[in-house]
Chain A
Amino acid sequence: MDEGGRGPMTTTFAFLGQFGEAIDFIFDEHESPAGGAQVGGLSNMWDLMREHLKLSIEAMAIACGVSIPLGLWLGHIGKGGFLAINASNVGRAVPSLALIAFFVAYVGVGFTNLVLALVLLAIPPILTNTYTAVRQVERDTVDAARGMGMTGFQIVRRVELPLSLPLIFGGIRISAVNVVATATIAPLAGVITLGDPIINVNTYGDEGRLAAALVVALLAVVTEVSLGGVQRMLTPRGLKLTTAGRRRHPFPITRREATS
């Protein structure tokens, strides 16, 4: 690495080599290799992170708002299975870079357009998992609920939804991690997220790019782990008891029809 002309480095983590410089970049401001502006440091990273999270959360909220009710309804009436199950197969075949590029070329750049692209990316796993989860609820249980005089809406709300929550959350986890990962290429569509140091390396330098990669990786793992925690909290206690013995695979997806 060429450190010439960048002034005295305060590399506290020098023993880590380039990774040390990257960690240093996260905590301390640097002069941009392009000259002029200061880049890096906690407040710069926090600004990027905030935009990254705002984009991801908005996209996830809309995707959940669309696909969970749709999946519950399709699962409840038992129709549209072909659509719901193949949604994730089709979604997987379209590369996220191609989707973003398509939006940039045909719809335009900007925050709203990008949210829309990420929503399209996030819907399939949630829709597929919600549908599969509802269909997986034992018919006897639904019949019992109907026998108790529950209306269709009550069955969805009080029986099918609670029993489906773990698998629905499996879908949300997959989508959320995918959205957080894809938000990294958001600067291509003019939204300045944590991907900015990765895409615009001339402004941030190599250590900035490595720093951003570290933070993005960490953010994805934190998203996965924390949503896993929420998933465990939301799993009805009765369901935990009955599945504890049967479930041999600790990862959220237990059915192979469900998306991976």
Chain B
Amino acid sequence: MILELAQVQIRDRTDTCESNNGFCPDWIADNFDRYVDPFFQHAYLTVVAVAIGFGISFSLALVAYRRRWLINPVTQVTGILYTVPSIAAFFLLLPITGRGDDTALIALVAYVLLIIFRNVLAGLDNVPEETKDAGRGMGLTDRQLLWRVEVPLALPEIMAGLRIATTTTVGLATLAFFAGAGGLGEQIFSDITFKSNVVVAGGLAVVLAAALDGLILLVQRAITPWTRAVAAR
């Protein structure tokens, strides 16, 4: 059951630029197709992993915000998941979940839990006591206070956590091909000594990270208009 991670030959050895391992714009233009599917697979892995991770850790943070004794155990468990290198996590999961997207997603989700949990909790903790008092004075119940006052005011920290989690996950997903989930890492690995290939595949990963980061920033701007009002004054 030995799984091959064979390095495929993607270079034409007769072409001078490619065989001399130069940086070949012509080769890139001709071969750009091969990066499109891995790029979207990479984006898919990142977005799904961050979305699931956000769902889990946001819920955990809301619970731990009220029941503070939960903070330490949750931090320790997610801290260990965060510490285990994802490349190791992929192979530790293989005997249990097999090769494919699922294995990659489980490892990636495990990795982002701590980042988002910590930021959501920090955001909620930073909500000024006076604001909460004002909300209570207006007759808000605990649930209303949470969703109408505390969560909105925690959004900058929550979104900061989401941005960190997303860019980190793009980086880790380059290793997802070890779990049989493809992505841009598979392209990098396919010919790691070929300059043109490394630059395009690696560059696309950076572009993906920057694009997703910018997207979250735009969403943050849109849903927290008051932060701009303060800054503009």
Q: Which A residues are within 8 Å of any B CB, using their own CB?
A: 1-2, 17-19, 33, 89, 92-99, 101-102, 104-106, 177, 180-182, 184-185, 188, 195, 198-199, 201-202, 205-206, 209-210, 212-214, 216-217, 220-221, 224, 248-251, 253, 256, 260
Contacts and interface: CB of A to CB of B under 8 A. Distances in A.
B92 A214 contact: yes
Given A17-B95, A106-B195, A198-B91, A93 B171 contact: yes
Contacts of B90: 213
B174 A95 contact: yes
B88 A98 contact: no
B122 interface: yes
Given A201-B3, A221-B80, A93 B185 contact: no
Contacts of A224: 79, 83
Nearest to A97: B174
A92 B174 contact: no
B193 interface: yes
Interface in B152-173: 157, 160-161, 164, 167-168, 170-173
Given A19-B95, A95-B202, A217 B89 contact: yes
A184 B85 contact: yes
Nearest to A197: B91
A184 B174 CA distance: 14
B113 interface: no
A105 B168 contact: no
Contact of A98 (B125, B198, B213): B198
A181 B111 CA distance: 13
Contacts of A210: 91-92, 94-95
Contacts of B195: 105-106
A248 B87 CA distance: 31
Contacts of B206: 93-95, 98
7 contacts: A95-B174, A95-B202, A105-B195, A198-B91, A202-B2, A210-B92, A224-B79
B95 A185 contact: no
Contacts of B72: 250
Given A98-B205, A221-B83, A248 B91 contact: no
Contacts of A251: 75, 79, 114, 118
Interface string B98-128: 0000000000000000110011011001000
Contact of A185 (B4, B87, B210): B87
Contacts of A201: 2-3, 5
B201 interface: yes
A210 B189 CA distance: 20
Given A105-B195, A221-B84, A249-B121, A97 B91 contact: no
Given A18-B95, A198-B91, A214-B88, A101 B171 contact: no
Contact of A249 (B71, B161, B201): B71
A33 B2 CA distance: 9
B192 A105 contact: yes
Q: Most chain-B CB neighbours within 10 Å: which of A98, A185, A205? A: A98
B199 A102 contact: yes
A248 B92 CA distance: 33
Contacts of B198: 98, 101-102, 104-106
Interface string B1-32: 11111000000000000000100000000000
B118 A92 contact: no
Given A93-B209, A188-B192, A198 B174 contact: no
Nearest to A210: B91
Nearest to A1: B1
Nearest to A18: B95
B188 interface: yes
Given A188-B192, A220-B88, A199 B167 contact: no
Contacts of A199: 5
Contacts of A217: 84-85, 88-89, 92
A5 B75 CA distance: 46
B58 interface: no
Contacts of B5: 199, 201
B181 interface: no
B49 interface: no
A23 to B, nearest CB: 12
A105 B210 CA distance: 23
B175 interface: yes
